[in-house]
Chains A and B, each alone.
Chain A
Amino acid sequence: MSDRAIKGPGLFSRMIGAILPSRRSRSGTPVSAPIVPAQSIAGKSLMIVIAIMSFLACLTLGAVTLVRDASLGWQADIVREITIQVRPVDDIDTNAEAQKAATIAASMPGVAQARVLEDWENAKLLEPWLGSGLDVSDLPIPHLIVVELADPDAVDLIALASRLDKEVKGASLDDHRNWTDRLKTMANATVIIGVSILGLVFVATVLSVVFATRGAMASNRDIVSVLHYVGAEANFIAREFQRHFLFLGLKGGLLGASGAAVLFAVLSFFIGRSIATPEGDQVSALFGRFAIGPTGYLGALVIALLIGVMTAITSRLTVYRHLASIE
């Protein structure tokens, strides 16, 4: 080793340096080297651990956001459509009854339109069970009326069911409520499981960061001791380490969060491109455009900042613990 060589800070250090308090004196001349060395093997290992844990926490957050948005999307789509079924009844013109049901439905407030499915549409629905080329006019199958709702909250489904019951023979209303309720329960359960996993990942992140920070601090115990013996206040020592570890934590946290954000952006881009293919359609049917949205990206940023702060606090507490052990 020789006398100290002057080495300029990296790009990231300069960016963070613009936010954190400057180490230069007011006159602009550089002050002494930091008491806690910026470059150390323990510091690098800690940064890698933080980056990985931050990446995993952000991925989990993204996945939970995705599932939650998808489940809300499914619910909104289903709630916007109801079906009226008109079963064939002896001596009654089912077609006329179906038209009557459609007219009643269309007259209800909050309904956008009501349409009786054509025979060929019914045939297409039955095709998987009865095969193609079927003439449904010979079969006693119910007529279906698809009712699209403009405002699901404004529609009085009970009143509609009661009118259909009174005025249309063989009519019944299926508002998909059972299915929607089940879907809602499933989606909520998925989100709760996702949030629990996010909680566990976050706890694991906290613990890894705490242990890795303690490990990195172990190599700096001599510095703490020397500062203690030369009469430094506990606050001064803690501040020196806190600044260093906040920088390290932010660097690692932002690296991990950026990695996760880039991964989501890339996935969103490719899934957006393959939307016309069968595989793409399947994925988009489940997860929409696979985009985590601004909330997801903001969440990733919050996680990175939280990890930075947590690293700084852990280093501060470790300094106090070490000082207590040598006093």
Chain B
Amino acid sequence: MIRFENVGLRYGMGAEVLRDLSFQIAPKSFQFLTGPSGAGKSTLLRLLCLSLKPTRGLITVFDRDVVTLPKEDLPSLRRRVGVVFQDFRLLDHLTTFENVALPLRVLGREESSYRADVIELLKWVGLGDRVQALPPILSGGEKQRAAIARALIGQPEILLADEPTGNVDPPLAKRLLRLFVELNRLGTSVVIATHDIGLMNQFDARRLVLHEGRLSIYE
């Protein structure tokens, strides 16, 4: 699904922030991406969601070489990758329903064609009663679940989540993890970037550990 071979990345003329990364993310797999702050987790996530191109090495996403990929083909590939940001990135002037429906709306679909699906997903993440609420009145956990729902509505083949439990209390973190595990059982590959050891200990999964730009993998 996603393959890295000897990937290196530097910003401008600076030192490499990622060095010789080689790994694969298989279909229907579950992995944690971890490491200390500044190790390069966010940069690696940006490479995974096609927001950055490597300065060396090969990255293939859905069998397409990222470096040689034409710009116009990027949006269609990006739709196959769902991203949950640490800061949620919900649009404050849109309701929860509208935020979650955004990936379908940008495809030019009529609201009537996806309304039922969005409502069903919102119920699944526990936001059935917050459909018309605007993000500023949602709690941190609700925002996080809305962001997860938005990442899932397009039925992506892989979900990338950046510190999804960073802003929530432990019981909610546990619930969110259950949500990701459930999603993985339904067939979506999941990559969770976190430095929360407690969270990782709750679920036995592959760990990608970044340290000073180098990656160690613990199966």
Chain B residues numbered 99-144 whose CB sits less than 8 Å from any CB in chain A: 101-103, 105-108, 110-112, 132-134, 136-137
Q: CA of A228 to CA of B89 in the docked complex: distance in angstroms?
A: 12
Whether B91 and A231, one on each chain, are in contact in the complex, defined by CB atoms closer than 8 angstroms, is no
Given A231-B103, A233-B75: A222 and B134 within 8 A (CB)? Answer: no
Say yes or no: B91 contacts A229, CB within 8 Å: no
Q: Which of B71, B102, B136 contacts A327 (CB 8 A)?
A: B71
Q: Which one, A27-35, A69-77, A106-114, A203-211, is touching chain B?
A: A27-35
- Per a CB cutoff under 8 Å, which of B71, B91, B105, B133 touches A3? B133
CB neighbours (8 Å) of A225 from chain B are 89
**A35 near B105: Cβ-Cβ < 8 Å:** yes
A231 touches B79 (CB 8 A): yes
Contact (A227, B134) CB under 8 Å given A31-B111, A327-B51, A327-B71: no
| Contacting pair B76 A231 (CB below 8 A) | yes
Quick check: A326 and B51 within 8 Å, CB to CB?
A: yes
Q: Give the contact-size bracket for chain B.
A: 35 or more
Interface of A is mostly: loop
Q: Does B199 contact A (CB under 8 A)?
A: no
Cβ of A256 to closest chain B Cβ, rounded Å = 27
Contact bitstring B62-101, A, C-beta under 8 A = 1, else 0: 0000000001101110110001010001010111011001
- Please tell me if the beta carbons of B137 and A32 are within 8 angstroms of each other in the complex: no
Given A4-B134, A32-B94, A326-B51, also A229-B101 (CB < 8 A): no
Chain A interface bracket (under 10, 10 to 19, 20 to 34, 35 or more): 20 to 34
A230-B103, A231-B106, A231-B154 are known contacts. Are A33 and B94 too (CB-CB below 8 A)? yes
Given contacts A3-B134, A31-B111, A327-B71, contact A227 B106 (CB under 8 A): yes
Q: Is the CB of B133 within 8 A of A223?
A: no
Q: Which residue of A231, A232, A236 has the most chain B CB atoms within 10 A of its CB atom?
A: A231
A-B pairs with lowest CB-CB distance, top 4: A231-B79, A232-B106, A230-B103, A37-B93
- Contacts A3-B95, A25-B112, A222-B91 supplied; 9 other A-B pairs, CB < 8 Å: A3-B134, A32-B98, A32-B101, A35-B102, A222-B89, A229-B85, A229-B89, A230-B102, A233-B106
User: Can you list 12 A-B contacts with CB-CB less than 8 angstroms, sorted by A residue number?
Assistant: A3-B95, A3-B133, A31-B111, A33-B95, A35-B94, A35-B105, A37-B93, A222-B91, A229-B49, A230-B78, A231-B79, A327-B71
